[in-house]
Amino acid sequence: MPRMERHQFCSVLLILILLTLVSLTLTGWAWTIPDCIIADSLLFPNLSYYIPFCTSAPGLHLLASCSNVKNLNQTLKRVPRNTEVLCLQGMVPTLPAKAFIRFHSLQLLRLQLSTTSVTSRTFQGLDQLQYLFFDHHAPCCLSLFLSPNCFESLRSLSSLSFQGYCLTYSQSIYLPTSLRHLTLRNSCLTKFQDLQRLFPDLLLSTSSTPNTKPGAPFLEMLDLSYNLQLKQAGVRDLYGLTLHSLILDGTPLRALDLTDSGLLHLHFLSLVGTGIEKVPASLTGYSELRALDLGKNQIQNILENGEIPGYKALEFLSLHDNHLQTLPTRFLHTLPQLQKLNLSMNKLGPILELPEGLFSTNLKVLDLSHNQLCDVPHGAFSLLSQLQELWLSGNNISSLSNESLQGLRQLRTLDLSWNQIKVLKPGWLSHLPALTTLNLLGTYLENILGIQLQGPKMLRHLQLGSYPMLDIYPPWPPTLLSLEIQAESCIQFMIHSGQPFLFLENLTLETSILLLKPDNITIHFPSLRRLTLRGYSFIFSTSQLQRFFPQQLPLLEHFFIWCENSYAVDLYLFGMPRLRVLELGYLNFFYESSTMKLEMLLKEVPQLQVLALSHLNLRNLSVSSFKSLQDLKLLLFNSERALEMNSNLQEFIPQMPQYVYFSDVTFTCQCEASWLESWATRAPNTFVYGLEKSICIANASDYSKTLLFSFLATNCPHGTEFWGFLTSFILLLLLIILPLISCPKWSWLHHLWTLFHTCWWKLCGHRLRGQFNYDVFISYCEEDQAWVLEELVPVLEKAPPEGEGLRLCLPARDFGIGNDRMESMIASMGKSRATLCVLTGQALASPWCNLELRLATYHLVARPGTTHLLLLFLEPLDRQRLHSYHRLSRWLQKEDYFDLSQGKVEWNSFCEQLKRRLSKAGQERD
């Protein structure tokens, strides 16, 4: 083959290899994780309402929950390294060594993997892990073998839980000294002595004495609930153990005698649902016992012989859901330190009869809910002078007078919800000056007069509710911070002047019709931060809301609207400059009679960060709906049917939020949505959940449940477009190159020969310029394009010795015609030795420049040593405006910055510095 023909063949082959590598690179980008959800609870705490996932812990935000896990390593590869909460459900019998070594920030790990074996190095590297759960939710327990040293590396572990696992074949398991809570629920324990075999560090041997145990006891809570074979505590079974809390719920311990078990100290004991019929008298040895929970048992009489010996230090006693009918005389005298008493769900009614001797100077909380009470006699609580919380919900109380609540001058919380109250007598709260919280939901009140709420000086939280309708008259308490009103048919505010709720921060209204009388009066909410509206569409009409909220809501941050019928809704958002979270449910925007469009609604709140849309009958989504939402971080679609995704939504990709969720969404089967799959699996800055299992329908009568991605792959092939583009691109390139090669007078022919020569040597197994197609990918905005093309590019591309002879990738020049810009950008940056960002004020305002800077930062952090990021400043800029500047400052070096903002461009020093950085990048890559 002649030399020139070989050169031509080499150039064509090089192009084909380049396109193949681009395709392979693109398929490697994936941010959608099958069967996994990534969430940030800091953005949207109630996300679990729409998409259930594992529970978190206070202070933890980034969660990852994966189901159907079979290959643990493959699943964890795509979970973010900085995940703080990780929940895994599936089938992984053996947890391998260093299974979670990548997750140095992990603090909570919940495993539902039917695991049967854990090695000694499984949890290596989890220095910050605080919570570890092994859950097996099945009728039968699963046997689990734990290596003795499997928890040795967990230096920060504070809570360890096994539920539904039998540890029969495990023994001598080391527990970290940081451990505070240990749970073995439904774990096949038959006797307390099994604990000594499992965790010898937890207990002293029977031959030891309490002083021989080195160090202070570390365990605070031991939960052994629902071990159905755990019937009694043997002598010295718990010898040397010091506990704050022991939970034995659901165990058949009818005659428990913990005194002989050897347990040294105990502050809280829970025996819920154990079937006991009387208050245990065998705990007298624990004089420090402060809390005792005996709920859901068969206790009918609290005292035997009128006394409870040994409970002198008890501060909390719960007897809820027993069979109590009366309270003995001098009951509280036997419990002088009691502060909280729960007697709910008993049979103390119909008339509350408290013995005359029921006196306590320390009782602060009393719960008498669900006791079939019909009447509260005068002075019933007069001897409980220190009571702060009184719970009377779920009874049959019809009225209360001021004499009924006499003596409760320290009361702060009063719950009278779900009673038969029809009338509030004047002055009924006059003896409650310290009351701050009042709950009157679920009553039969028809009128609430402001004068009826007088008496408390600092009433802050008020809940009002009625089954039919509710009329509310002023003056309302001026110190209110939270107000919730519910009525089945109508809520009507009857006012005579524009009296404002000056300090109200949280308002919830749930009804069918909202009225304001007289018509020319308005109400002001200058401090409102959270507004929740639930009901039928009548409450959401524009005229209704504008009359009820005529002025701006300058501090409103969270707006929740849920409408429960299928009529059209005409809604506008107005005067909410600080609105951050917007939840819309059951608002039929595209009903035939509706004049409202989603884009018209959202353009009024461009500062939104979280948008949740549920049951809206949207039907069609286009870029116009979201183009005004520049700060959006989370977008959620729930329960939408026959949703059409317009292809122009691709324009929204550069500013797509960080999290996009599709929950129970059915799409329309159409090829116009073929871009969804490539976007969901290749967008590096957006996590997409729910698309891989979404179905599409061809029409309203289609029940075939075709997977969306399967339909797109079968009926909307990408091959025709790709190969058509590839063929036309090659032909066009050959038509340009071949005539130029035939002319020997061109000065750049030597440079072209060098390029072809490099290709030939690469085919022979040599590596001249490494694995890069380009030396530099240049990112710039349209306003700076003239300077880049006229000043920068000629100097860098000109062959030596006049220039540097660098291979540059310019989006405006090198991206293929008709090719997707985002895919071309990802592929080109992945095959460039360095990325040079030309930064000006216009560039920082460009969505594409910001996206290119984010992607380059991702390459820099995710693949250190293989790529470089260079920043070229054409004008003075505040570097704090750069995306992830603090992260960049840690990864970039001083020579990665080029400052040409003074107007004196010294090309020689600039090019020499750039050449050195590229040379260093090439050495690190090779």
Kind and range of the H or E run holding 493: strand 490-494
Distance CA 180, CA 742 (A): 81
pLDDT at 735: 72
Q: Which residue from 619, 626, 621, 582 is spatially nearest to 603, judged by alpha carbons?
A: 626
DSSP bridge pairs for 36? 66
Structure tokens at 910: 């600039």
| Phi (first) and psi of residue 727, to 5 degrees | -65, -45
Please tell me the CATH code under which domain 769-925 is placed: 3.40.50.10140
DSSP bridge pairs for 449? 473
Q: Which amino acid is at 524?
A: H
pLDDT along the chain (926 residues), means of 10: 46 45 39 81 78 82 91 90 93 92 94 93 94 89 92 94 92 91 91 86 53 54 91 71 88 67 82 86 74 91 62 89 83 83 91 70 92 87 90 92 88 96 89 95 91 92 92 88 92 77 92 81 86 72 63 87 66 81 79 60 86 86 82 90 82 83 89 81 79 83 81 72 62 69 53 52 43 84 88 79 76 81 84 86 86 82 73 80 64 76 67 71 52
CA 634 vs. chain centroid, Å, equals: 11
C-alpha torsion 508→510→516→522, nearest 10:
20
DSSP bridge pairs for 837? 779, 871
The DSSP 8-state label assigned to residue 452 in this structure reads G
Distance CA 183, CA 187 (A): 9
Q: Do domains 31-188 and 769-925 have the same CATH topology?
A: no
Provide DSSP, 216-229.
-----EEE-TT-TT
Distance CA 234, CA 253 (A): 12
Q: Which residue from 306, 253, 319, 324 is spatially nearest to 283, judged by alpha carbons?
A: 253
Distance CA 280, CA 299 (A): 10
Distance CA 884, CA 858 (A): 10
pLDDT at 149: 92
Distance CA 188, CA 183 (A): 13
Per-domain residue ranges for the chain?
1-28+727-757, 31-188, 769-925
| Phi (first) and psi of residue 104, to 5 degrees | -75, -20
Q: pLDDT per residue over 418-441, tens digit each?
A: 999 998 888 899 999 999 999 999
Q: pLDDT per residue over 813-848, tens digit each?
A: 888 777 788 888 888 888 888 888 888 888 888 888
**Token pair 């679920």 is at which residue?**
442
Tell me if residue 753 falls in helix, strand or coil: helix
* 880 exposure class (CB count in 10 Å sphere: 0-12, 13-18, 19+): exposed
Contact 175, 182 (CB under 8 A): yes
Contact 332, 354 (CB under 8 A): no
Distance CA 465, CA 390 (A): 19
Return all residues near 754 (Cβ < 8 A) that are at least 6 apart: 805
Provide DSSP, 30-89.
----TTEEEEETTT-GGGGGTS------TT--EEEEEEEE--HHHHHTTS-TT-SEEEEE
pLDDT at 646: 80
Longest C-alpha distance within the chain, in Å? Answer: 119
Question: Which pTM value belongs to this model?
Answer: 0.72
Fold (topology level) of 31-188: 3.80.10
C-alpha torsion 391→394→399→403, nearest 10:
-20
Distance CA 796, CA 803 (A): 6
